Every structure is written in C-alpha cells, then in structure tokens.
C-alpha cells in the first residue's frame, strides 16, 4: 500500500501562526471541559460526599476495568444554556470496559440540579441508548435521579423522543437481548423509578437509595398517608419485601463491586469481526495537525495531510486519484482495523459525488466501515453545474450514504455546510459516531453566504419596507452574528448535534475505539452489487 508523503514544513511562518491560534482554541476547549468535570461545583460535591456518596465520574472510574479507556460522550452538553448551571446536562455517558465486557454507561450527576432531566439530559440519555442498541452494548445505569425537570414538562415529557422514549428504548433493547443493569445510589422518583424498574438486575445502596413512583410528599397529597422515604421505597424494603431490587449493598463501593460482578456473570462473549492487523503508528505526528488546519476556514488544507497523521503507517490506497479531485477516497487501517475514508478537498462537483457513491458501494460490498472527514461548503451551484446534473449526481451520493450497511463514522475537521453535510454523512444520516474539532463550524450556510443571501432578500423588499443604509448595515451585522453563533462548535455540541468536541491529537485513539466498538457486531450478510457511476 502506498505511503503518504507530507509536504508540511513545521518551520514555516504560516504553520507557526496556525499552531499559535489553534493553541488558543485548545485552551478554550480544556477550560470548558473543566466546567463539565466540576459538576455542580465544589460546594455541591462536598455535600454529596458528606452523605457518603461518590461523584458520578468517580463511580465510573471504580466501575470500569483498571487502565482501560473510557470514551465520554457529549461532555459539553448544555454549555451556554441555563446560565451554565447544568454542566454536561447533569448526566455522564460513555463507553468503557467492565470485567472485559465493553458496555455503555449512563450515570446521573446528582450534584447538578439533583440529577433531574432537562431536555438536553433526555437527548443525551437517549443518544447513549441508541448507540448501545446499534452496537449491541450492555447498558449499565448508575442512577441518582430526581426525574424530569418539571419546569420543562412540555420539552421532556410528551413527545416520542422525550423521557418516555428512554423507557421505550429499554424495553426494545431487552427484546433485542441487550443486558441492562442498574445500580441505584440516590432517590429515584416518578419517571426516574422506571430506569431501574425496567432493568434486568438492580443493586440498591443502603440509606441513600430509594425507588418510588410517588415520593412522600406526593403520597401525602394523594392519599393522605404520611410515610418516610426509607419505609416507602428504601433499599432494605425493596430487597426483602417488594422484590423490586435484587442486590443490597451497604455502601456505594460495595454497590459498584456487585455491579461489576453482575456484568462479569453475563457470560457475554464479544469478538472483533473482520481482518485486524497489528496497530502501527502513523509516520507523522498528530500534534502537527493544528499547524495544518488553523482556525481560518477560508484557507484550504489538504486532507491527505490529516489522513497521514491518523492511519497506520501513513499508508493509504487512494481510489480514483485523478478523477473528482475535490473528494479524496481510499482504503487504510486505523489501529489495525480496515477503514474506507472519504475526505473533502473542496466543493463537491458531479464527478466528486459520483466517485464518492462508487467508493461507498465498494466498501459496502467488502464490509469495510466508512470514515467521513468533513470540510465542505456544499455541492457546486451555478448553471454549468446544473447542466452537468449536480442535482441527480449529488442525490446518488446521498442515496449511497443512506443505504450503506457498514458502520459509518464522521469527523468535522473544518466547515460542514448545507447539503454537503448530508452527502458526507452528517448527523441526519445517523453515523455511528460524529465528532468535531474545536475549529469546526456546522450550519446551513457559512456566515458570508448566509448573510449575503438574506441581505439580497432584504434589499429586494426595500420598496415595501424602506430602510436606511445604517439600518441595513445593522441588519447585516445582526445576520452575520446569528450565523456565526449558530455554527459555532460549542453551540452545536451543547445541543448534541455531535458526540463531542475532541482534540486533533486524540482523534486517532477516539476513532480507533469507535471502529473497535463497531467491529463487535457481525457484518450484514448478503451480496451487494457495485453500480459504476
């Protein structure tokens, strides 16, 4: 297989300038990660510990096997919302290994608003369940949940992907043979009670944990009965009288140890399907990526330089290198696992779209998972592009993406705009995982194009709605701010339009974990033809 040759000069002035600017982006990302890791803040964490409780991420550290990775998902959910008082949307989700079994872990953070569910909390919880279902991963719920945030009832309760959707997914996963285990550390009331109640096995912790459909206040209001929380739904009652819970633990450490034992007793064998080779590092350092991409999306960079710093041995077998040059396609291995890569090197023309569709069908036939590296302004527009059939040819790429049977993974390395986002397996096309770099942008249009289009429309209506040049300038500035704000990576990740912002130097390991998770499922069988475009 051919080895990519890097043309990057780390000593060049532009490289050093890009690195310096990107360093600021990484500093911002790390500081905002610190916000997520702090949970409800030092005061709430101290109060939590004083009750004999362990913070959510510390519980996860005790749960997963020592010296194994934990891939946290969407840690910056709810960033910039609710006055930044709901870090990580009050829930920690991610993938880790427990007694040798790769599991999805969903842990409520009771230091943040009592672990109650805001709309972003629901989305994050459901997203984790969907990943578990698609990849066949057992789910471990570390429950410490006050139920739905009542002030957002219309946004967390009635719709199909609201809180009820989480319970629906638990039932569907159980029907699919996916184990679900709950360890209860706090009060689980109302909807929060169904998370453990719908699980296969439940561990409850003495004194602090309880499960009840209606808490003491609701019971008093509804039937005039006065009862304390422990009597109503405590661990001892549920483990000895009601039978709701299966295992009693004296404290949280014992509860976590019992949860590990339950996973270990599943007898679940997870094998990696497909041809895996020994992992080899790239020939080039991923720490150089910031100097390559920078933060100015108007300055193009060659995605081959990124590929050379991600794949094993920097080896890349490129497909159709002389045709549809604005889309780079080729085969490689990443941490020993095969992958087919599609990477943008400019706007997508008809030739690029046809090449991409052809390549996807090749990968689909050969059971090679797909990795999309997005840096795309969209498909080409204009009279010449339309005469060349850009509408039907771009649709072929979209069809190929939507119907590919192999796992798909998406990384936004730069811009991701318009229909180009769809053609390159954006969130709407349900890739297994989607991540963004902190320089990335995602939106319907770039701020330049979007504000220009809307300004043209505004000017065309001046005869009906007169405006001065100063008013037009203020309107244009407002439009630009709107597009810039809504395409900002933190705006996107806050609303769970991706699975998290990651640093370029961590990307190879993150993608390697994702490919491994996907390889735990057997490939879809049956012949698949390749239609030459």
Which residues on adjacent β-strands are paired with residue 205? 249
CA 459 to chain centre: 40
Q: Are residues 94 and 228 in the same domain?
A: yes
Q: Indicate the range of 217-221, 282-286, 333-337, 434-438 predicted with least confidence.
A: 217-221
Contacts of 462 (CB under 8 A, 6+ apart): none
**342 in a structural domain:** yes
Q: What is the pTM of this model?
A: 0.94
**511 in a structural domain:** yes
pLDDT at 480: 80
Q: Alpha-carbon distance 431 to 498, whole Å?
A: 10
Q: Are residues 96 and 117 in the same domain?
A: yes
Q: Are residues 447 and 436 in the same domain?
A: no
Q: Are residues 369 and 468 in the same domain?
A: no
Q: Are residues 50 and 179 in the same domain?
A: yes
Asked whether residue 5 carries a pLDDT value surpassing 70, the answer given is yes
Q: 3-state SS of the chain: helix, strand, coil percent to 5?
A: 45, 20, 35
Instruction: With CA atoms as reference, report the closest residue to 105 among 31, 34, 52, 179.
Output: 179
Which residues on adjacent β-strands are paired with residue 230? none
CA 77 to chain centre: 10
pLDDT at 462: 63
**369 in a structural domain:** yes
Q: Domain boundary residue among 214, 235, 264?
A: 264
Q: What is the mean pLDDT of residues 174-190?
A: 93
pLDDT at 222: 84
Q: Are residues 141 and 260 in the same domain?
A: yes
Which residues on adjacent β-strands are paired with residue 182? 141, 202
- Which is more confident, 438 or 477? 438
> pLDDT band for position 472 (50/70/90)?
confident
Q: What is the mean pLDDT of residues 215-233?
A: 86
**309 in a structural domain:** yes
**28 in a structural domain:** no
Q: Are residues 180 and 194 in the same domain?
A: yes
Contacts of 445 (CB under 8 A, 6+ apart): 417, 418, 453, 483
**20 in a structural domain:** no
Q: Are residues 322 and 429 in the same domain?
A: yes
Q: What is the mean pLDDT of residues 499-507?
A: 98
Q: What is the mean pLDDT of residues 357-380?
A: 94
Q: What is the 3-class SS of 372-395, one letter each residue? A: EEEEECCECCCHHHHHCCHHHHHH
Q: Are residues 140 and 232 in the same domain?
A: yes
pLDDT at 160: 86
Mean pLDDT of the chain: 92
**Residue 415, domain CATH:** 3.90.226.10
Q: Alpha-carbon distance 373 to 290, whole Å?
A: 15
Q: What is the mean pLDDT of residues 288-317?
A: 96
> pLDDT band for position 56 (50/70/90)?
very high
Asked whether residue 209 carries a pLDDT value surpassing 90, the answer given is yes
Q: Are residues 324 and 411 in the same domain?
A: yes
Asked whether residue 443 carries a pLDDT value surpassing 70, the answer given is yes
pLDDT at 463: 60
> pLDDT band for position 189 (50/70/90)?
confident
Q: What is the mean pLDDT of residues 15-41?
A: 96
**269 in a structural domain:** no
Q: Domain boundary residue among 241, 264, 287?
A: 264
pLDDT at 464: 63
The structural domain count of the chain equals: 3
pLDDT at 382: 83
> pLDDT band for position 459 (50/70/90)?
confident
**What domain range is 466 assigned to?**
443-488
Q: Are residues 412 and 481 in the same domain?
A: no
**94 in a structural domain:** yes
Q: What is the mean pLDDT of residues 430-438?
A: 98
Q: What is the mean pLDDT of residues 452-471?
A: 70
Q: What is the mean pLDDT of residues 319-341?
A: 97
> pLDDT band for position 188 (50/70/90)?
confident
Q: Are residues 518 and 475 in the same domain?
A: no
Percent of the chain with pLDDT over 90: 74
Asked whether residue 451 carries a pLDDT value surpassing 80, the answer given is no
pLDDT at 24: 97
């Amino acid at each position: 297989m051919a080895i990519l040759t890097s043309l990057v000069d780390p000593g060049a002035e532009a490289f050093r300038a890009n690195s310096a600017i990107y360093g600021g982006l990484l500093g911002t990302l790390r500081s905002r990660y610190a916000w997520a890791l702090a949970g409800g803040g030092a005061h709430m964490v101290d109060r939590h510990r004083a009750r004999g409780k362990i913070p959510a991420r510390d519980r996860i550290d005790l749960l997963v096997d020592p010296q194994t990775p934990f891939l946290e998902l969407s840690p910056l959910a709810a960033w910039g919302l609710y006055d930044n008082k709901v870090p990580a949307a009050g829930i920690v989700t991610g993938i880790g290994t427990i007694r040798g079994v790769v599991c999805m872990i969903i842990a409520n953070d009771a230091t943040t608003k009592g672990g109650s569910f805001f709309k972003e909390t629901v989305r994050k919880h459901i997203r984790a369940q969907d990943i578990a279902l698609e990849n066949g991963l057992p789910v471990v719920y570390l429950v410490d949940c006050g139920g739905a945030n009542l002030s957002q009832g219309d946004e967390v309760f009635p719709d199909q992907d609201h809180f009820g959707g989480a319970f629906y997914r638990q039932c569907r996963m159980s029907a699919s043979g996916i184990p679900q285990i709950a360890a209860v550390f706090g009060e689980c009331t109302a909807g929060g009670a169904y998370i453990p109640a719908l699980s296969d096995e439940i561990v409850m912790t003495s004194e602090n944990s309880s499960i009840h459909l209606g808490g003491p206040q609701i019971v008093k209001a509804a039937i005039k009965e006065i009862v304390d929380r422990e009597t109503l739904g405590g661990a001892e009652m549920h483990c000895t009288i009601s039978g709701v819970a299966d295992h009693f633990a004296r404290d949280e450490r014992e509860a976590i140890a019992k949860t590990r034992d339950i996973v270990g007793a599943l007898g679940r064998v997870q094998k990696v399907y497909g041809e895996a080779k020994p992992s080899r590092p790239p020939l080039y350092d991923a720490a150089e990526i910031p100097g390559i991409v920078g933060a100015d999306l108007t300055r193009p960079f060659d995605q081959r330089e990124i590929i050379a710093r991600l794949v094993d041995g920097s080896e890349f077998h490129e497909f159709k290198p002389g045709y549809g040059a604005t889309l780079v396609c080729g085969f490689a291995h990443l941490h020993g696992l095969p992958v087919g890569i599609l990477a943008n090197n400019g706007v997508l023309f008809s030739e690029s779209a046809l090449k991409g569709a052809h390549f996807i069908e090749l990968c689909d036939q050969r059971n090679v998972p797909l990795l999309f590296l997005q840096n795309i302004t969209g498909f080409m527009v204009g009279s010449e592009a339309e005469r060349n059939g850009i509408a039907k040819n771009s649709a072929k790429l979209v069809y190929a993406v939507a119907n590919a049977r192999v796992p798909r993974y998406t990384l936004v390395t730069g811009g991701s705009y318009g229909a180009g986002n769809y053609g390159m397996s954006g969130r709407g096309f349900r890739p297994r995982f989607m991540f963004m770099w902190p320089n990335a942008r995602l939106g319907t249009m770039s701020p330049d194009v979007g504000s220009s289009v809307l300004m043209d429309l505004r000017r065309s209506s001046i005869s009906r709605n007169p405006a001065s040049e100063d008013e037009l300038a203020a309107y244009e500035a407002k439009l630009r701010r709107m597009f810039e704000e809504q395409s900002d990576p933190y705006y996107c990740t806050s609303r769970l339009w991706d699975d998290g912002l990651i640093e370029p130097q961590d990307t190879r390991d993150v993608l390697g974990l994702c490919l491994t998770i996907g390889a735990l499922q057997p490939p879809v069988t049956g012949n698949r033809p390749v239609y030459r475009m």
